[in-house]
Structure 1
């Protein structure tokens, strides 16, 4: 096992198969929401608590499996930002798979309480977890201003929100995204996202059922619009 995870807070600033291979529906709680669990790495199998009183939509196991299959070479030792963390299914999956630092951002007090409980349950996986209670666009701007740089940034606001463009623009700022960093946005497959926004250019998108993962990287200086 790895060294214990350090959990800190920054102030304001799989499917199972039954007999003969028949698929069983995912386990759900009293609200009918799927109960997320870690699907890979040292914390594999650990269930995650959902925030009380919120219809949080955790990123499903199939989407996470696709995401982390793609990101696998970049995970060991990376700095990972989960900007709309909810229960922390994506960020804590990154922790379980070797991220050195995971920052979990959510504006909800209920989400932060769940994040603390879930992060504490993964203390044996190694790495550091920081939890920030703040609106994601505000936190992204603050990180960029402070020079808190990340190798991987995950953006997953409510699918019907208008936060995607703002979050993407701020995630791509030089002070926040490492030079070779990647921003990933999870969104409904029929909801288009721009090919270019701010300093970011989309390099790949992958559909997983009704969901889509859009991958962005910083554009070369020569490709950016000149003032």
Structure 2
């Protein structure tokens, strides 16, 4: 795996911190180039935000937000190995007080957070590249009102995958391609 053991926090209070990565090939941490570009795009949304890292993997994206001044981050991953890495990285970055971990599948997490009335300014979705998981996750986020009105959902996916323009009240606001990886951004339609 390229970049294995080479995952770092780019900016903020934990800048330069090397994060732990898994030994297996199941988790593909976001490359530095994609991560840097992503954070240039959402930089102004991060301060004091509530973040949901839905397929957390290493926790790299959520920890980057906390390092840059996010209020809190909920890290969700059903893999015990991934969650163990997420927890070790949260501790390493000293962001335990702003972090909540949920070692369950994304559907259970979305329902649980929705039932508690939780809302997020930034939601990351970087699931394993399997078909149909994205649309289910996006649809459930919409149905459970997890996204703040001015919030953004960032989906990292294989460039070959195509996404609908609209899912419920969510609309695709932009796509950014980086070779085999594409970031697709969804926002909430404003109430008429």
Q: Does the residue aligned with 2:33 lie in a helix, a strand or coil?
A: helix
Cα deviation, 1:160-209, whole Å, max 9, x if unaligned, reads 34200000112224631111111111111111011101220111111122
1:140 aligns with 2:140: no
Q: Tell me which moved more, 55-64 or 172-181.
A: 172-181
Distance 1:191 1:27, change over 3 A: closer
- What's the RMSD between the two structures over aligned residues? 1.8
Structure 1 unaligned segments of length 5 or more: list them: 1-25, 30-34, 223-227
Q: TM-score, normalised by structure 1?
A: 0.78
Q: Is the 8 A contact 1:146 1:175 kept in 2?
A: no
Q: Is the 8 A contact 1:81 1:154 kept in 2?
A: yes
Tell me the CA shift for residue 27 of structure 1.
4.6
**Equivalent runs, 1:77-226 vs 2, <5 Å:** 77-123=48-94, 128-173=98-143, 175-222=145-192
Q: Does the residue aligned with 1:221 lie in a helix, a strand or coil?
A: coil
Distance 1:203 1:119, change over 3 A: same
**Equivalent runs, 1:15-94 vs 2, <5 Å:** 27-28=3-4, 35-53=6-24, 55-94=26-65
* Inter-partner Cα distance in structure 2 for 1:152 and 1:202: 15
Q: How many residues align?
A: 191
Tell me the CA shift for residue 127 of structure 1.
6.2
* Inter-partner Cα distance in structure 2 for 1:160 and 1:112: 20
Larger relative contact order (CA 8 Å, sep ≥ 6) = 1
Tell me the CA shift for residue 52 of structure 1.
4.8
Structure 2 unaligned segments of length 5 or more: list them: none
Tell me the CA shift for residue 220 of structure 1.
2.8
Q: Does the residue aligned with 1:58 lie in a helix, a strand or coil?
A: coil
Q: Is the 8 A contact 1:201 1:218 kept in 2?
A: yes
Tell me the CA shift for residue 53 of structure 1.
4.5
